Amino acid sequence: MYTDIIKIGISACLAGEKVRFDTGHKKSNFCMDELGKHVEYTRFCPEVAVGLPIPRPTIRQVKVGETIKVCRPDGTGDVGQQLTEYGKKVATEQAKELSGFVFCAKSPSCGMERIKIYNEAGTGNTSEGVGFFAEQIMKHNPLLPCEENGRLNDMHLRENFVMRVYVFKNWQKLVQEPLTVHKLTQFHAQYKYLLMAHNYQAYRDLGSLLGTYVGGDINLIADEYILGLMTGLKKPASRRNNCNTLMHLQGYFKKDLSKIEKQELREAIDEYREGLVPLYVPLTLLKHHLKVHPNEYLAKQVYFNPYPHDLKLRFGI
């Protein structure tokens, strides 16, 4: 059960608001109808916020000398500076309350990456731009899980984003109170297997970071720790790493399970390894064994339940 309110920022058009240049929207069904059951969205339309009307002429990024403008195709109406200032204001005043952000792809204001930058004559472009609003949010909140609507159609990226949102929310909750070594170690203990599945090197590095702590400013260690954790978890968990993690977890039950049960579990892991069944199959079996043979340490592992089950995110990976 997740009882905390999780707040996520979202480009307003993805939330179904008719704020686009042509009075349309780009509602994300996953964000609004599925994830929306579990989170609270704060909506932002930076173009409307800086005073552009609905409808409005399209705008795009245009390189003029060393400067990039965000203007109409004819070069007029540059709102680059306003978008940057508005983005910085949201990033520093409101985004600290958020545990994630979903941006609208391809927009010169909201896109996270690969935004087209046109040459001044409008005859060519590169795809190296970042939306002016999104850039500020990400720059001032480097730990904040961010994703684009298009990428969320990929089940691995979707699962990874939602998982990171829940991890980050737990971290935000932890650091509301003064931190101690004990609290930090306890926090890390519950993420051990989740991190192992995503990034074995980060799992080792963070274990060693906390294991070798002998005093000093705990907040400095905490900063290093959370940066390592959020960066490590960004790497999608490969089938191979998940299998490795499942095998480790299986080891906890070696004295409790019958020969047949062990074989059944091994077969479920092998079938997952071969791509015949999704991750939830061996995990469900492991969770069943955990219920029958309780283990306090394992029960705390976030790997078993990183987010609400009804999101069905482990059905597709």
Interface residues with ligand SF4 (CB under 6 A) are 11-13, 19-20, 45-47, 104, 107, 109-110
By beta-carbon proximity to ligand SF4, the closer residue of 109 and 245 is 109
Which among 47, 23, 24, 157 is positioned nearest to 102, based on CA atoms?
157
Q: Which residue minimizes CB distance to ligand SF4?
A: 13
CB of 25 to ligand SF4, least distance (A): 8
Token pair listed for 148: 């684009």
The answer to whether 289 touches 254, Cβ cutoff 8 Å, is no
Measured from the CB of residue 19, what is the shortest distance to ligand SF4 in angstroms?
5
CB of 35 to ligand SF4, least distance (A): 17
Q: Which is nearer to ligand SF4, 19 or 246 (CB)?
A: 19
Q: How far is the CB of 61 from ligand SF4 (least distance, A)?
A: 13
| Angle, in degrees to the nearest 10, between helices 80-93 and 132-140 | 30
CB 259 within 8 A of CB 220: no
Q: Which is nearer to ligand SF4, 46 or 282 (CB)?
A: 46
Of 60 and 169, nearer to ligand SF4 (C-beta) is: 60
Smallest distance from ligand SF4 to CB 142, Å: 21
CB of 24 to ligand SF4, least distance (A): 9
- For 23-177, strand residue ranges (E) read 39-44, 60-64, 67-71, 100-103, 115-119, 125-129, 146-148
Q: How many CB atoms lie within 10 A of CB 40?
A: 11
Rounded CA separation 225/231 (Å): 10
CA angle (302, 306, 312) in 5-degree steps = 145
Residue 20 or 60 with smaller CB distance to ligand SF4: 20
**Residue type present at position 249:** L
Smallest gap from Cβ 87 to ligand SF4, in A, equals 11
Smallest separation (angstroms) from ligand SF4 to the CB of 29: 16
Nearest approach in angstroms of CB 286 to ligand SF4 is: 42
Burial 250-266 (b: 16+ CB within 10 A, else e): bebbeeebeeeeeeebe
Closer to ligand SF4 by Cβ: residue 24 or 142: 24
For 140, residues 6+ apart whose C-beta sits below 8 A from its C-beta are 88, 91, 92, 95
b/e burial code for range 182-204 (CB count within 10 A of at least 16 → b): eebeebbeebbbbbbbbbeebbe
Whether 156 and 165 have beta carbons less than 8 Å apart is answered as no
Half-sphere exposure of 225 (CA within 13 A, CB side): 28
Could you tell me which of 292, 288, 207, 191 has the C-alpha nearest to residue 245?
A: 191
Question: 12 or 31, CB closer to ligand SF4?
Answer: 12
Identity of the residue, 14 or 222, whose beta carbon is nearer to ligand SF4 in the bound complex = 14
* 161 vs 193 by CB, closer to ligand SF4: 161
